[in-house]
Protein backbone atom coordinates (compact mmCIF):
# COMPACT_ATOMS: atom_id res chain seq x y z
CA UNK A 1 0.00 0.00 0.00
CA UNK A 2 1.67 3.18 -1.07
CA UNK A 3 0.97 6.34 0.73
CA UNK A 4 -0.20 9.14 -1.50
CA UNK A 5 -1.26 11.36 1.28
CA UNK A 6 1.96 11.31 3.17
CA UNK A 7 4.29 11.74 0.31
CA UNK A 8 2.33 14.32 -1.62
CA UNK A 9 4.09 16.89 0.50
CA UNK A 10 7.38 15.23 -0.17
CA UNK A 11 8.39 15.04 3.45
CA UNK A 12 7.38 12.08 5.47
CA UNK A 13 9.64 10.18 7.80
CA UNK A 14 9.35 6.61 8.95
CA UNK A 15 6.28 7.36 11.01
CA UNK A 16 5.40 3.80 11.82
CA UNK A 17 6.27 3.80 15.48
CA UNK A 18 2.70 4.08 16.70
CA UNK A 19 2.33 0.33 16.56
CA UNK A 20 -0.35 0.08 13.93
CA UNK A 21 -0.73 0.99 10.29
CA UNK A 22 -1.17 4.70 9.74
CA UNK A 23 -3.81 6.06 7.44
CA UNK A 24 -3.27 5.48 3.74
CA UNK A 25 -4.91 7.52 1.05
CA UNK A 26 -7.47 5.48 -0.86
CA UNK A 27 -9.84 6.69 -3.55
CA UNK A 28 -12.97 5.34 -1.90
CA UNK A 29 -11.90 5.78 1.70
CA UNK A 30 -12.34 2.03 2.16
CA UNK A 31 -9.41 -0.17 3.09
CA UNK A 32 -7.96 -2.27 0.28
CA UNK A 33 -8.68 -5.56 2.04
CA UNK A 34 -12.36 -4.75 2.30
CA UNK A 35 -12.62 -4.42 -1.47
CA UNK A 36 -10.46 -7.47 -2.10
CA UNK A 37 -12.57 -9.71 0.16
CA UNK A 38 -15.69 -8.77 -1.81
CA UNK A 39 -13.96 -9.59 -5.08
CA UNK A 40 -12.87 -12.88 -3.50
CA UNK A 41 -16.41 -13.66 -2.36
CA UNK A 42 -17.70 -12.92 -5.86
CA UNK A 43 -15.27 -15.47 -7.19
CA UNK A 44 -16.27 -17.99 -4.51
CA UNK A 45 -19.91 -17.60 -5.57
CA UNK A 46 -19.00 -18.87 -9.02
CA UNK A 47 -17.00 -21.71 -7.46
CA UNK A 48 -19.94 -22.95 -5.42
CA UNK A 49 -22.38 -22.22 -8.26
CA UNK A 50 -20.38 -24.63 -10.43
CA UNK A 51 -20.36 -27.30 -7.72
CA UNK A 52 -24.06 -26.96 -6.90
CA UNK A 53 -25.06 -26.93 -10.58
CA UNK A 54 -23.15 -30.13 -11.15
CA UNK A 55 -24.89 -31.74 -8.17
CA UNK A 56 -28.29 -30.72 -9.52
CA UNK A 57 -27.51 -31.80 -13.09
CA UNK A 58 -26.44 -35.23 -11.83
CA UNK A 59 -29.36 -35.58 -9.43
CA UNK A 60 -31.23 -38.82 -10.12
CA UNK A 61 -28.67 -39.98 -12.69
CA UNK A 62 -26.82 -42.47 -10.48
CA UNK A 63 -27.09 -45.99 -11.86
CA UNK A 64 -26.44 -47.75 -8.55
CA UNK A 65 -27.34 -46.71 -5.00
CA UNK A 66 -27.34 -45.80 -2.24
CA UNK A 67 -29.55 -42.84 -3.14
CA UNK A 68 -30.15 -39.64 -1.15
CA UNK A 69 -33.92 -39.74 -0.71
CA UNK A 70 -35.09 -43.16 -1.90
CA UNK A 71 -34.55 -46.76 -0.95
CA UNK A 72 -32.34 -48.99 -3.11
CA UNK A 73 -32.17 -52.78 -3.33
CA UNK A 74 -29.02 -54.25 -4.89
CA UNK A 75 -28.73 -57.46 -6.92
CA UNK A 76 -28.16 -59.53 -3.79
CA UNK A 77 -31.41 -58.21 -2.32
CA UNK A 78 -29.74 -56.03 0.30
CA UNK A 79 -31.88 -53.01 1.15
CA UNK A 80 -30.18 -49.60 1.41
CA UNK A 81 -32.24 -46.97 3.21
CA UNK A 82 -32.39 -43.36 1.91
CA UNK A 83 -29.05 -42.06 3.01
CA UNK A 84 -29.58 -38.43 3.98
CA UNK A 85 -30.36 -37.90 7.65
CA UNK A 86 -32.33 -34.66 7.61
CA UNK A 87 -32.95 -34.28 11.39
CA UNK A 88 -29.24 -34.59 12.21
CA UNK A 89 -28.21 -32.18 9.45
CA UNK A 90 -30.93 -29.74 10.55
CA UNK A 91 -29.22 -29.68 13.93
CA UNK A 92 -25.80 -29.04 12.38
CA UNK A 93 -27.29 -26.35 10.16
CA UNK A 94 -28.71 -24.65 13.25
CA UNK A 95 -25.28 -24.79 14.88
CA UNK A 96 -23.65 -23.16 11.85
CA UNK A 97 -26.27 -20.40 11.69
CA UNK A 98 -25.75 -19.69 15.40
CA UNK A 99 -22.04 -19.35 14.70
CA UNK A 100 -22.88 -16.42 12.41
CA UNK A 101 -24.71 -14.77 15.29
CA UNK A 102 -21.66 -15.29 17.50
CA UNK A 103 -19.49 -13.77 14.76
CA UNK A 104 -21.68 -10.65 14.64
CA UNK A 105 -21.31 -10.31 18.41
CA UNK A 106 -17.54 -10.83 18.16
CA UNK A 107 -17.26 -7.95 15.70
CA UNK A 108 -19.46 -5.78 17.90
CA UNK A 109 -17.31 -6.59 20.93
CA UNK A 110 -14.18 -5.51 19.05
CA UNK A 111 -15.85 -2.29 17.92
CA UNK A 112 -17.01 -1.47 21.47
CA UNK A 113 -13.70 -2.36 23.14
CA UNK A 114 -12.79 1.26 23.98
CA UNK A 115 -16.32 2.42 24.85
CA UNK A 116 -16.78 2.55 28.65
CA UNK A 117 -19.51 0.36 30.09
CA UNK A 118 -22.57 2.32 31.25
CA UNK A 119 -23.21 2.42 35.01
CA UNK A 120 -25.14 -0.56 36.28
CA UNK A 121 -24.57 -2.61 33.12
CA UNK A 122 -26.23 -5.98 33.36
CA UNK A 123 -24.58 -9.32 32.67
CA UNK A 124 -25.56 -9.29 29.00
CA UNK A 125 -24.11 -5.87 28.35
CA UNK A 126 -20.91 -7.08 30.00
CA UNK A 127 -20.93 -10.33 28.05
CA UNK A 128 -21.27 -8.38 24.83
CA UNK A 129 -17.83 -6.88 25.41
CA UNK A 130 -16.01 -10.21 25.40
CA UNK A 131 -14.44 -10.39 21.95
CA UNK A 132 -12.40 -13.42 22.98
CA UNK A 133 -15.50 -15.22 24.23
CA UNK A 134 -17.43 -14.62 21.02
CA UNK A 135 -14.52 -15.47 18.76
CA UNK A 136 -14.03 -18.69 20.69
CA UNK A 137 -17.74 -19.48 20.51
CA UNK A 138 -17.82 -18.88 16.75
CA UNK A 139 -14.86 -21.19 16.26
CA UNK A 140 -16.31 -23.87 18.55
CA UNK A 141 -19.67 -23.78 16.77
CA UNK A 142 -17.80 -24.08 13.46
CA UNK A 143 -15.89 -27.05 14.84
CA UNK A 144 -19.14 -28.62 16.05
CA UNK A 145 -20.49 -28.30 12.53
CA UNK A 146 -17.35 -30.00 11.23
CA UNK A 147 -17.83 -32.73 13.84
CA UNK A 148 -21.34 -33.33 12.53
CA UNK A 149 -19.96 -33.50 9.02
CA UNK A 150 -17.28 -36.02 10.02
CA UNK A 151 -19.97 -38.13 11.71
CA UNK A 152 -22.17 -37.85 8.63
CA UNK A 153 -19.38 -38.85 6.24
CA UNK A 154 -18.36 -41.76 8.46
CA UNK A 155 -21.88 -43.12 8.79
CA UNK A 156 -22.51 -42.76 5.03
CA UNK A 157 -19.36 -44.71 4.28
CA UNK A 158 -20.48 -47.30 6.80
CA UNK A 159 -23.83 -47.53 5.02
CA UNK A 160 -22.10 -48.17 1.71
CA UNK A 161 -21.72 -44.75 0.06
CA UNK A 162 -18.17 -43.69 -0.81
CA UNK A 163 -16.93 -41.00 -3.16
CA UNK A 164 -16.44 -43.69 -5.82
CA UNK A 165 -19.77 -45.48 -5.45
CA UNK A 166 -21.92 -43.47 -7.83
CA UNK A 167 -22.55 -39.98 -9.21
CA UNK A 168 -24.42 -39.06 -6.03
CA UNK A 169 -21.42 -40.04 -3.90
CA UNK A 170 -18.94 -38.15 -6.11
CA UNK A 171 -20.99 -34.95 -6.27
CA UNK A 172 -22.20 -35.06 -2.66
CA UNK A 173 -18.83 -35.59 -1.01
CA UNK A 174 -17.09 -33.12 -3.30
CA UNK A 175 -19.67 -30.36 -2.77
CA UNK A 176 -20.04 -30.75 0.99
CA UNK A 177 -16.33 -31.50 1.33
CA UNK A 178 -15.48 -28.25 -0.45
CA UNK A 179 -17.78 -26.45 1.94
CA UNK A 180 -16.26 -28.24 4.92
CA UNK A 181 -12.79 -27.20 3.76
CA UNK A 182 -14.01 -23.60 3.71
CA UNK A 183 -15.35 -23.94 7.26
CA UNK A 184 -12.01 -25.43 8.32
CA UNK A 185 -10.12 -22.49 6.84
CA UNK A 186 -12.55 -20.17 8.63
CA UNK A 187 -11.97 -21.91 11.98
CA UNK A 188 -8.21 -21.53 11.47
CA UNK A 189 -8.75 -17.85 10.69
CA UNK A 190 -10.88 -17.41 13.84
CA UNK A 191 -8.27 -19.06 16.05
CA UNK A 192 -5.66 -16.76 14.53
CA UNK A 193 -7.78 -13.75 15.50
CA UNK A 194 -8.29 -15.21 18.94
CA UNK A 195 -4.54 -15.65 19.30
CA UNK A 196 -3.95 -12.01 18.33
CA UNK A 197 -6.71 -10.91 20.71
CA UNK A 198 -5.11 -12.79 23.60
CA UNK A 199 -1.64 -11.56 22.71
CA UNK A 200 -2.28 -7.86 22.34
CA UNK A 201 -6.03 -7.29 22.48
CA UNK A 202 -8.22 -6.46 19.50
CA UNK A 203 -9.79 -3.02 19.53
CA UNK A 204 -11.68 -0.66 17.22
CA UNK A 205 -8.49 -0.05 15.21
CA UNK A 206 -8.55 -3.75 14.28
CA UNK A 207 -12.14 -3.64 13.12
CA UNK A 208 -11.11 -4.36 9.53
CA UNK A 209 -9.34 -7.66 10.17
CA UNK A 210 -12.30 -8.95 12.17
CA UNK A 211 -14.75 -7.55 9.65
CA UNK A 212 -13.21 -9.37 6.66
CA UNK A 213 -13.09 -12.62 8.62
CA UNK A 214 -16.76 -12.10 9.48
CA UNK A 215 -17.68 -11.46 5.83
CA UNK A 216 -15.99 -14.69 4.87
CA UNK A 217 -17.66 -16.59 7.70
CA UNK A 218 -21.14 -15.31 6.84
CA UNK A 219 -20.57 -16.13 3.19
CA UNK A 220 -19.67 -19.72 4.08
CA UNK A 221 -22.88 -19.90 6.15
CA UNK A 222 -25.04 -18.54 3.35
CA UNK A 223 -23.60 -21.12 0.98
CA UNK A 224 -24.56 -23.81 3.46
CA UNK A 225 -28.16 -22.59 3.46
CA UNK A 226 -28.20 -23.08 -0.31
CA UNK A 227 -26.61 -26.53 -0.02
CA UNK A 228 -28.93 -27.63 2.80
CA UNK A 229 -31.98 -26.55 0.85
CA UNK A 230 -30.99 -27.93 -2.53
CA UNK A 231 -29.29 -31.13 -1.43
CA UNK A 232 -31.15 -32.14 1.72
CA UNK A 233 -34.61 -30.56 1.74
CA UNK A 234 -35.70 -30.69 -1.90
CA UNK A 235 -36.29 -34.33 -2.78
Partner 1 sequence: MATIAAPSLASAEDAYAENSGIWSWITTTDHKRIGTLYLWTALFFFLVGGLEAVLIRTQLAKPNMGFVSAETYNQLFTMHGTTMVFLAIMPLSAAFFNYLIPLQIGARDVAFPRLNAFSYWVFLFGGIFITVPILFQVAPNGGWFGYAPLTTNQFSAGPNIDFWVLGLQILGISSLAAAFNFITTIINLRAPGMTLMRMPMFTWMSFVVQFLLVLAFPPITIALFFLLMDRFFGTTFYEIAAGADPLLWQHLFWVFGHPEVYILILPAFGLVSEVLPTFSKKPLFGYNVMVYSGIMIGTLGFGVWAHHMFAVGMGPVADSIFSMMTMLIAIPTGVKIFNWIATMWSGEIRFTVPMKFAIALIAMFTIGGISGVMHSSPPADLQQTDTYFIVAHFHYVLFGGSIMGIFAGIYHYYPKMTGRFLNESAGNWHFWLNFIGFNLTFFPMHFSGMLGMPRRIYTYDAGQGWDLFNMLSTVGTYILVVSTSIFVVNFLRSRTRGLKAGNDPWGAGTLEWSIPSPPPDYNFAQIPEVTSRYPLWDLKDPAKTAGIAHSHADSATITDAHAVPVHEETERHTAKSLGIPMPFPTSKPFFTALAMVSMFSGLLFRRSGHDSIALTVVVGGALLFVSGLYSWLTSPLE
Interface positions with partner 1 (CB under 8 A): 1-14, 16-17, 19-21, 25-28, 30, 32-33, 35-36, 39-40, 42-44, 46-47, 49-51, 54, 57-58, 61-63, 163-164, 166-167, 169-171, 174, 192, 196, 200, 209
Residue 101 near residue 85, CB atoms below 8 Å = no
At residue 161, φ and ψ (nearest 5 deg) are -110, 110
Q: Which is nearer to partner 1, 97 or 163 (CB)?
A: 163
What number of residues does the chain have? Answer: 235
How near is the Cβ of 83 to partner 1 at its closest, in Å?
A: 16
Q: Is 102 exposed, middle or buried (0-12, 13-18, 19+ CB in 10 A)?
A: buried
Long-range pairs for 187-192 at CB < 8 Å and ≥24 separation?
187/139, 187/142, 187/143, 187/146, 189/213, 189/216, 189/217, 190/135, 190/138, 190/139, 190/142, 190/217, 191/139
Number of H helices, E strands in the chain: 7, 2
Query: Cα dist. 66→47, 84, 110 in Å?
Result: 27, 10, 47
Q: Give the C-alpha separation, 160 to 157, whole Å.
A: 5
Q: Which is nearer to partner 1, 55 or 134 (CB)?
A: 55
Residue 215 near residue 189, CB atoms below 8 Å = no
Number of neighbouring beta carbons within 10 Å of residue 2: 8
Amino acid sequence: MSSHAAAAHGAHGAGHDDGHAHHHYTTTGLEHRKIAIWAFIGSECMLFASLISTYLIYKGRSIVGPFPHTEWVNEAGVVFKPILNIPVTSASTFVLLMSSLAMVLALQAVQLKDTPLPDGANWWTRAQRSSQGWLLMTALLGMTFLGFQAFEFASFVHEGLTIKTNLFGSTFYTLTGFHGAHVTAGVLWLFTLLFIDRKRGLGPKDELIVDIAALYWHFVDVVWIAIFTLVYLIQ
